[in-house]
Amino acid sequence: MKTFETIFNKLNWEDVKESIYSKNPSDVELALGKRGKRTLEDFKALISPAASDYLEEMAQLSHSITQKRFGKTLQMYIPLYLSNECQNICTYCGFSYDNKIARRTLTDAEILREVEVIKALGYDHVLLVTGEANKTVGVSYLANAIKLIRPHFSNISIEVQPLEESEYKELIELGLHSVLVYQETYHRENYSLHHTKGKKSNFPYRIDTPERLGRAGAYKIGLGVLIGLDDWRTDSFFNAMHLDYLEKNFWQTKYSVSFPRLRPHASPPTPLLEERDDSQPADGERQISDKELTQLICAYRIFDEEVELSLSTRESPNFRDHIIKLGITSISAGSKTNPGGYASAPESLEQFEIHDERSPQEIASMIRAKGYEAVWKDWDRTYQLLER
């Protein structure tokens, strides 16, 4: 089996970009009218500038597909940050090694205090997040954390440094359900500009991570790009291509796609992190307006009816309120992006500023007002136990 990197290396970024931007209304109409599985060429058309005039049709189709496949439900999850220690230098992250701030890694007692607060909010699905510091928050630390919290949650996911296949297997055996690993950007040269030190600077190792997860038997793999590092359309195409490859080669695994946009953080400001008016079209190809993000979310749903689409508190309340009917299947609420943020150390450094600060109860009320149900319990674990 050819690796994804082998296939990826045969494509030229600029050629792919030109192909996307050259799509015309006929290509968009063909993609929208197709019955059955859409192709990657269809996806290009749906994310192209030409598709912006078809947003209403895309929204209606995306809504219909999502409701048919997932019903009127939204899975609720919450991140639990365990550590802000990191050995990488990344230009866009508050945890970057060169950011001279106080570092903190939660103890067992502190983890359990965070769990107590999160459970009181009603959550049964938790996402464990750390910086990438293998010696401090390596596999042994993660294994211990999973053992600690497994009795309290039906669904445990992680977003940490890429690991080896054997290490993923070890954590899966302990109860790990899902792993989120974002490529950040598929533009190899630009990737190097934003990741200048640490293991994360190894582009081939990172791009191979989902395959190691597939071989390890992960129940679900989460993909995504950090929108704002490069041309969002081209980056999103390569992410969809990666998704398509994984679904064909690791078909027993579930997949999700997230849509993180750059947010301000504690590091010195950069042009990429300047505040913008999301009600207006974004300037440049890297940034994305709310309208364009809606187009992207609808394009993913039309392209792949089975993939789960997730939206975090990075987005504004207004945007989240209006997008949930158009393809999103999971959503976070009440999030803290600092270790100990719920109870143990609320003053510790945030990875980035959240935008939607409403409580989980407020989000659940909003979801009900839209005619949908907020799902706190993840039933997949029950089905897995029955299958065994």
Q: Say what the pLDDT of residue 279 is.
A: 35
CA 153 to chain centre: 20
The residue among 247, 302, 237 whose CA lies nearest residue 34 is 302
| Upper half-sphere CA count for residue 195 (Cβ side, 13 Å) | 24
Q: Mind listing the pLDDT tens digit for each residue in 214-269?
A: 999 999 999 999 999 999 999 999 999 999 999 999 999 999 999 999 865 444 44
AA identity, residue 105: T
Coil vs helix vs strand at 135: coil
Q: Which CATH superfamily is domain 4-387 in?
A: Aldolase class I (3.20.20.70)
* Residue 384 reports pLDDT greater than 60: no
Q: Mind listing the pLDDT tens digit for each residue in 37-48?
A: 999 999 999 999
Domain residue ranges of the chain, discontinuous segments joined by + = 4-387
Q: Mind listing the pLDDT tens digit for each residue in 48-59?
A: 999 999 999 999
Q: Say what the pLDDT of residue 273 is.
A: 35
The residue among 195, 188, 186 whose CA lies nearest residue 97 is 195
Q: Mind listing the pLDDT tens digit for each residue in 288-334?
A: 999 999 999 999 999 999 999 999 999 999 999 999 999 999 999 99
* Residue 208 reports pLDDT greater than 90: yes
Confidence of residue 387 (pLDDT cuts 50, 70, 90): very low
* Residue 196 reports pLDDT greater than 70: yes
State the pTM of this model: 0.91
CB 4 within 8 A of CB 208: yes
Integer Cα distance of 336 and 338 in angstroms = 6
Facing residues of 332 across strands? 77
Mean pLDDT of 348-362: 84
Q: Say what the pLDDT of residue 99 is.
A: 80
